Every structure is written in C-alpha cells, then in structure tokens.
Chain A
Amino acid sequence: MIEPMAKVRLVSPRNLMDGVTAILHEAGILHIESAPSEARQIPLRPQVMDEPARQRQAELERFREELRRLLLLLPELPSRERIRQERAGPPELTEGAMKRLVHLVRQVGTRVDYLSARLKACEDELALLAKYEKALEALAPFLRLIQESEELDHLGLTLEVKEQEDHLLTLLREMMAKVTDNRYELFHTRLDERSLAVLLVFPKICSARVRGLLWEEGINELRLPASVSDKPLGQALRIILKKKVELPLRAARYRDELMDVARNWRQDLIRYQRAVVQRLEEIEAASLFYQTEMASFIYGWVPRHAFSALSARIGKEFGGKVVVEACPLGREEWGAVPVVLQNPRFLRPFETLTRLIALPRYGSIDPTPYLAIFFPLFYGMILGDIGYGLLLIIATAVVRRRFGDQPLVRDLSIVFFVASGAAVLFGFLFGELFGELGEHLGLHPLLNRMEAFIPLLYLSVGVGTFHVSLGIGLGVLWAWRQREWHECLAKIGGLLLVLSFVCLIASLAGLLPRGWAPWGVISLLLSFAMILVFGGARGAMELHNLVNVLSYLRLMGIGVASAALAFAANKLGGMVGNVLLAIVIGGTLHAINFAFALLSPTIQSLRLHYVEFFENFFAPGGKPYKPFRRGADS
C-alpha cells in the first residue's frame, strides 16, 4: 500500500532556524517541499543567505574538497582496525572544532602531500624503467664484455624484424663497415618474436656519422631515461639496475609512512568530513525554506504516523516557539505528494517489480500485493516443471549467497524463490520433471500439457478473465477515489463487457448452460451502452480488454513450448544408443531450455501485469520520497 502522508508546515523565529534545521536533519523524516502552494498565497519569499553564511558555506565546501582529496590519498585501514576506530560520531562544528579542523588539514595535508608526491615519483620512475628493462637486460651481458674506454662509443638499438633476421643484420653490418672503415663490433640478441636488441661499439670519432646514418635510415636509437641520458650506455645501465633494486624499497617505505598517517588520522578526517557534509546539507536545505521579516517557514511531507513524534520532538526542544502543524491535503495536491510504498515484510521484495515500471502516484493503488500473488502464479503456470523449478531454487540460492549484500539481488532472490516454488507445484499438476521423465518415475499428470491443449486454453482464458476483471475492478476503485463518476461507471461497463462476453462465448461453446446465452447478449448490449454513455470516445478503450483477456493465452502457449522443448531433449537423447552420449545431448538441450526458462516466463509474467493488468488502474508518476536526512546523498 501507499503510506498516507501528512503535509507539514513549520513556523519558527528566524534566529532559531539553525537549531530547527539540525533537529529535522537528525530526525530524517521530512521531505522538504521546495514549491509549496501556500508560498504563492501568503507573501513569502525564499530564504536568502546573508554574506557571513555564504562565506561559511564556501569555507566548508573548500574543507569538504580538501578532506575528500586527503582521504583519497590515504590508504584504507585494514577492516579490523577500521571497525575499532569507527565508533565515534562526527564532532559538533563549533569555533574550536573548526580551528582543530584547520590545524588537522594543514598538518596532515602537508605530510600526506609530501609522502604521496615521493611515492608517485618512485612509481613513475619504476614504470619508466620497466619500459627499458627488457632491452637493457638483453644488452647487459655484451656491455660487461666490453672494456670501457674514452675512445669508444656504445649505441643500443631495437629493431623490428619484418624480413629475415640475417638479411637485416647483414645490411646493418655493411652500413657500419662503410661508416667506420670496419672498426666496429656488433652484438645482437632476440628480444621477442618481432624484435632484436643490437649493441654497436665503434670509435668515438665516428659517432656523428653513425648516428646521422642511422637517423637517415629511420633506425631509432634506444633512448634512455632523462636522468641517465647523458651517461655512457654501460654506466647508465648500472645506474638503472641499481635503481630497480632501490626504488621498490623506497616506495614501500613511503607506503608504510602513509599507512602510519592513516592509522593516526584517517578516522579523524572521516569524522570531520561527515560533520562538514552534514553542515553543508543543512545549509543547502535552508535554500528551500521561506521567510518573512521575523519568521522562517518550512513546508514538507512526513509519513502520517510519524507526524506526532516529530511535533512532540520539536515542542520538547523549542517549547512553544516553533509551531509544527499538519495542513489540510486536497485531492488536487496528490500529484505533489511524495510516495512511500509500505507493504508487509513478506511482500516488500515484490516492490522491486513495481518500481521497475514506475512508482504509483499518491492516492492511487499500489499493485505490489497483486504482483506478489499473480507473478509467481503465472511464472509457475508457464514453467511448470519440478526439475527446472528445483534447479532454479538452487541457482537463486547460489546467486543470493554470492551477491546477497546487494539489496536488489536480495529482493529478487526472494521473488524467484517464490516463483520457482510455484513452478515446482505446477510441475506436480502437469506431471513434469525435466519434461515427461516424471511420468517414467511414477508422476501422474492431472493435466498433461502435451495433450490437453483445449483444457489448457480454457484455463488460460479463465485466469485472464479473472486477472483483467480484477484490474478493471481496481480501476473502478481508483476512479471512485478520484470522484471521477463517469469514468467509474464506464469502467463498470467495461467489467460487465468482459464478463458477459466470456460468459456468452462459454455458453455457446457448451461450457456454460446454453440458456445463459440470451442473458449474455443483453448484458453485452447494456455494457456497450454504459461504455458509450459514460466513457464517450475514450470508453472505446474498454473494448481493448477483450484482446487483453486473449493475451493470457501465452500462459498456455509459452508453457507448451517449454514442455515440448523438454520432450524433444529427452526424445533426442533417447535416440542415441550410447548412454553417455544420450546424457550429453539431453543435458545440453535441457540446459538450453533452462536458460529460456529463466528469461521467458519472467518477461511474459511481467508483461501480463504491466500491459494487461496495470492498464486499467495503474497511475504512474509518483514522486519518490526523499527525506532530509544525514548522508542521504552519500
């Protein structure tokens, strides 16, 4: 059901507004109305912040960003330490607390910035060195062979091997011989399938010519990191290898120091962050308040059952200085009232299915209880197999165990537990366990889906008639609540139309006594008259309900298709002589059918609700209830 709401007006002297706001924030039940109708009638103006308040807001926003930044830089504490430290609540933001916050942010910020910058430098350099690692490690053995000399120059290359390796090296050798008059050494090794690492050693006097030629040929020299680019290749390599050992140790030390800072200060920073965010929420909410010269006004909505508690609390805190009153709520205001769905605990998971389409408008009918009854019923009718039902229960239990911390998964798992339970029950009715295997195990179908097509057809139309009629009945109730008398009577005409049409067809088909047929015709004509007189052209939509009833034939159609697939799986499995192969073929086809069974009955059952059932009474467009409470945004 939809929770009844009270429209609330709080009137307070302007100097008490901060206290009132804090109480409302803590209570966390008032949905603040930003554009109340009274504000247009009484000359109220929106509350405007004065300059000191604006400066205070700007200062708090700066702190919020700074605290967020520091908390991002600081590492998370291990969960055991976190739980131990999380007990204290956010501090009151008094002048003293603000001074402590400034000091804390400055002191911790400086240290965290220093350590983070150092850590980042280490990590960046390590990442850079990793790029050279492969080539330098490949060249290291050759460099150790070469005696360092003032007369010699070294040059490292990485070459992409597009053609034959020998051909490329021959070309390079020919080139070097020409440039250096055969005074060079070339060492090479494979880096991977597509590249070669090459070390060239040659007299220093040839350096310019060698480098110029390589550049002309488009061969790139191995560029060293900037920190060692001025060093000879051998020396650079030794420095890099030394750094590779040192840098991870240095990074670990900075991480340890950051963890120490986090142990000492992280929880304090979080507490201050909460306090700052809460204060900012209060300041931002105040922009939705109204004022006159002397008084401030807050309009909003609270659940009706919570109104007296809120009123008593405000009265206790402020005596008679702050007035809380419930304003009369007219039907014309229903569109503005926020909606809270309030169903018994066992129905609450099914609210997810309602919300999937939309929240119902305030004052209209919450379809959740009907979804809780008919969704599992339709699901069970379509799937109707003990084996698939049990498999689905197991699959749901596994998903719930793995992802049960997410509320959506928790709710949907309950929905599917109930739905798959219904599938098991219908499985007994249809005598199906992985298709007709149930019959071999002694199950006796009361209604065999592979044979009793016509009775199933009657059953589907009967269920459809009941469900659509219930929907129209709820539509009558909704029209009654809205005092829409013409629509109410047109809907009654629509209900009569569906019932009399189905009775007429049933009596003509011999399912009901033949003598009912003339009464059916009279009732049908009467319903047409009611629809046309009270509904006019819009009333023609009521005729659509006849098509809606026939749409429930899908309960039979999809169900029979599912049973036929299971039948085919067993038949094909049974056609091969080999037992193992039969299990593989049958199992695969059953797995495919099970995958369909997860999807198709869900979609079809939802569709029967959203399209055929909701059409007659559901009023979407409810405004979600968003109470002003601590941490609502986070």
Chain B
Amino acid sequence: MTDIGLIAIGAGLAIGLAALATALAQAKIGAAAVGAILEKPESLGTVLILLVIPETLVIFGFTVAILILFTLR
C-alpha cells in the first residue's frame, strides 16, 4: 500500500472513530435530555449544552484528519 493510501486511512480513522464516540455519547445524553425537557421544559438551555458537549470530539477528529492530510502528504 502506498504512503498516500495509509495517510488517507489514518485521516479516515481519525474522523470516523471520533464521530462514532460522539454518536455513542450523544445517544445517551439525547435520551436523557428528552426526558429532562418533558419533566422541566425550562431546562432546554442547560440540556442543549450537555447535548452538544461531545461534539468537540468529532471536531478534534476532523482537525486531526486535516492535519494528517495536509502535513504528511
């Protein structure tokens, strides 16, 4: 396999695994968030924060993927 291929796989894994981790975390938070909003609608703001916190992971994954593609190529 060429170096380019390995770089592409590395970049793909960086964002793919990060996205998977975000999805797992958001699934659990999302389920709890719906329950919380039903019980207490005014908690929307707080719940929104909790829900989007794991998204940092995928952003980092995306950034790492870009860095892999642009610095190693």
- Give A contacts to B, CB under 8 Å: 356-358, 453-454, 457, 547, 550-551, 553-554, 556-558, 561, 603-604, 606-607, 610-611
What are 29 A-B pairs with beta-carbon distances under 8 A?
A356-B44, A356-B45, A357-B49, A358-B45, A453-B66, A453-B70, A454-B66, A547-B56, A550-B60, A550-B63, A551-B56, A551-B59, A553-B59, A553-B60, A553-B62, A553-B63, A556-B63, A557-B59, A557-B62, A557-B63, A558-B59, A561-B62, A603-B48, A603-B52, A606-B48, A607-B52, A607-B55, A610-B45, A611-B52
In whole Å, how far is A379's beta carbon from the nearest beta carbon of chain B?
A: 15
Within 8 A of A (CB), among B42-71: 44-46, 48-49, 52-53, 55-56, 58-60, 62-63, 66, 70
B46's partner among A357, A553, A556, A558 (CB-CB below 8 A) is A357
A contact residues around B63 at 8 Å (CB): 457, 550, 553, 556-557
In the complex the two chains form, what is the Cα distance from A356 to B44 in whole Å? 7
Given known A-B contacts A453-B66, A453-B70, A454-B70, A607 and B48 have beta carbons under 8 A apart: yes
B contact residues around A603 at 8 Å (CB): 48, 52
Sample of 13 further A-B pairs with CB below 8 A, known A604-B55, A607-B55: A356-B45, A357-B49, A358-B45, A550-B60, A551-B56, A553-B59, A554-B56, A556-B63, A557-B58, A607-B48, A610-B45, A611-B52, A611-B53
In whole Å, how far is A284's beta carbon from the nearest beta carbon of chain B?
A: 24
Contact A554 B59 (CB under 8 A): yes
Interface of B is mostly: helix
B contact residues around A604 at 8 Å (CB): 52, 55
In the complex the two chains form, what is the Cα distance from A492 to B49 in whole Å? 26
A contact residues around B46 at 8 Å (CB): 357-358
Complex: chain A residue closest to B50, CB-CB: A611
In the complex the two chains form, what is the Cα distance from A610 to B46 in whole Å? 9
Contact B55 A554 (CB under 8 A): yes
Complex: chain B residue closest to A354, CB-CB: B45
B contact residues around A558 at 8 Å (CB): 59
In whole Å, how far is B11's beta carbon from the nearest beta carbon of chain A?
A: 12
Contact B66 A457 (CB under 8 A): yes
Going nearest first, the 6 A-B pairs with the smallest beta carbon separation are A357-B45, A356-B45, A554-B59, A557-B62, A607-B52, A557-B59
Contact A610 B59 (CB under 8 A): no
B contact residues around A553 at 8 Å (CB): 59-60, 62-63
In the complex the two chains form, what is the Cα distance from A510 to B44 in whole Å? 44
Complex: chain B residue closest to A453, CB-CB: B66
In whole Å, how far is B3's beta carbon from the nearest beta carbon of chain A?
A: 20
In whole Å, how far is B40's beta carbon from the nearest beta carbon of chain A?
A: 13
Within 8 A of A (CB), among B18-48: 44-46, 48
Contact A611 B49 (CB under 8 A): yes
Complex: chain B residue closest to A454, CB-CB: B70
A contact residues around B70 at 8 Å (CB): 453-454
In the complex the two chains form, what is the Cα distance from A607 to B56 in whole Å? 10
In the complex the two chains form, what is the Cα distance from A607 to B53 in whole Å? 8
In whole Å, how far is B7's beta carbon from the nearest beta carbon of chain A?
A: 15
A contact residues around B44 at 8 Å (CB): 356
A contact residues around B66 at 8 Å (CB): 453-454, 457
